[in-house]
Every structure is written in C-alpha cells, then in structure tokens.
Copies of this chain bind each other. A is one copy, B any other.
Amino acid sequence: MTSDPLPTRLPETDRTRHRRLREQGSLERADLDAILDAGFVCHLGVVVDGRPLVVPTVYGRDERQLYVHGSVASRSLAGGLPVCVTVTHVDGLVLARSVFEHGVNYRSAVIHGDARRVTDPDEKLEGLRRLTDHATPGQWSYARRPDRRELAATTLLALSLEEVSVKIRTGAPDDGDGPDAALGLWAGVLPLTRAWGAPVPDPALPPGTAVPEHIARRAGTRQG
C-alpha cells in the first residue's frame, strides 16, 4: 500500500473508456466513492472453464481497495484471479415517447482487476471489519468478532480500485426535443427508491432484548 495521495480523476484504459453515448461516463473518483458507499451487494464475475459466472456477494472497502466476500467463488480461486466486480443502483425507469428511447436511470461502477486472496489474519480481520461496518455501520463493535477458526473459514478477496468504469444516468428521457414530442404522449421518469424497514427480531431472542441504537436509527431511512 502506497501513501501517495489519490488522484481525483480515474485513469482511462481500453477496458474503462466509455464507448456509448446514452450512458454518462464519469471519471470522477468522488462519483465512484459515492456509488460504492451507497450499496453493500455487488455482482462478482469470474471465468470458470472458459465460461462466465456471476454471483451476488457483499463488499466493503478502504480508499484503494475493495474487499469482497469470496466464498461463492472459492472453488475457482487460485492465486491472482481475473475478476470483474459490478455495483449497480437502479434509480428509476426512463419512460420516453418511443420504445427505442426507453431506459433506466442508474449508477454503476464496473471494477476490473486481479483479485488477491487475503491470507494475513490481521488484514483479513481488518477487511472483515470494513465489510461488516460498510453494510451496517457500528455492527463490528457490537457483534462478536470472528475467532481464529471462523477467520480461517472465511474467503476474503481484495481488489484494487484502479481500473473502474463509472456510469451514471439521471433525468428525463432524451426524445423531448425530437419529432416524437408531437405525439402528445406522457413521458418522464418513474423513480425507484429503497428504504430500510423496521428491525425484525430473531424469534429466538429473549423478550425485551433492546434493538441497539445503530440499527434502530436506520429504520425508515432511504438506502442507496
């Protein structure tokens, strides 16, 4: 790990250069950070026997690396593993006048790289701390932390945040100033929002076990 300051712009590579016009590619690191911080589930892509495999899993991060829970991919893991990790937030349907201009408002980060299997127990513990507190801030200091056996049974991957393609689409459909505007059809966006519900206690809990503040305060708040 270097301690050089992070550049505020993401580097372009053959894989991350934006090719299509309708999505809005961003090279701002702040946009990447916001997308990663808004979620906790990613889609991890690996190649198994020459074919793609895409599985959902959870992630956390520090400034320079993503930590990904890798048990789902463990049978295809050996040393450095080519992966693609994608984080997507769906913000709404873009309902245009023409079917052709229909689309989705979304934010996505597509991260390319060779995943490293974290083996050092201290780094693994730190990675799991970040992963746990990323999904549920405050939970690492509340729950019982992994013991040596549990740590060994956990597969954690680390992936550099160097090569990333960020795309963001917001706002109205694109055919409001074209000939289809004369059709007189309604057009706009149907927003999609995510929210945390009220905590559901484990039925096995003794009655009266209090919901800790760091969990209770999320109920009813927006997510993502």
**Could you tell me which A residues sit within 8 Å of B by CB distance?**
15, 19-20, 40-41, 43-47, 50-56, 58, 71-72, 75, 82-86, 88, 90, 92-93, 95-100, 102, 104, 106, 108, 110, 112, 128, 132, 135-136, 139-140, 142-146, 150, 153-154, 172-173, 176-177, 180-181, 183-206, 209-212, 215, 218-219, 223
Contacts and interface: CB of A to CB of B under 8 A. Distances in A.
Q: Report how many copies the assembly holds.
A: 2
A95 B190 contact: no
A93 B93 CA distance: 26
Contacts of A54: 43-45, 52, 54, 84-86, 110
Contact of A53 (B84, B93, B219): B84
A55 B110 contact: yes
B55 A52 contact: no
Given A55-B110, A56-B106, A108-B56, A199 B190 contact: yes
